[in-house]
Amino acid sequence: MESLGQSATEDNVKKMVGTVDENGDSFIDIKEFMELNFKRVDAVTVTDDLRNAFLVYDLDNNKLISVEELQKIQRRLGEYCSLE
């Protein structure tokens, strides 16, 4: 589980959550998630794709994405794409 890049990733993820976490609960809900992905798109235009993407991140299905969940996904994505 431990790796050299882990703390850097954690910092980035926390920063990312802090940026989009409008209500300050340290979780990303679907509305905040949409703003993260589609800053210029209205909430009305949320697509099934985006809902599905949210479900991928929300590992315990509590309708909130935690820093930990985001980290796990980022790490998983990192296996396919070394950039970002």
In the complex, least distance from residue 82 CB atom to Ca ion, rounded to whole angstroms? 26
CA atoms within 13 A on the CB side of 57: 25
Contact 35, 19 (CB under 8 A): no
Q: Does 19 bind Ca ion (CB under 5 A)?
A: no
Q: List the interface residues with Ca ion, window 36-55 (CB under 5 A).
A: none
Q: Could you tell me the sign of the dihedral formed by the alpha carbons of 25, 27, 30, 31, in that order?
A: positive
Q: Could you tell me the sign of the dihedral formed by the alpha carbons of 11, 14, 18, 20, in that order?
A: positive
In the complex, least distance from residue 50 CB atom to Ca ion, rounded to whole angstroms? 16
Q: Which residue in 5, 25, 31, 68 binds Ca ion (CB under 5 A)?
A: 25
Q: Does 68 bind Ca ion (CB under 5 A)?
A: no
Q: Does 6 bind Ca ion (CB under 5 A)?
A: no
Q: Would you tell me which residues interact with Ca ion (CB under 5 A)? A: 21, 23, 25, 58, 60, 62, 64
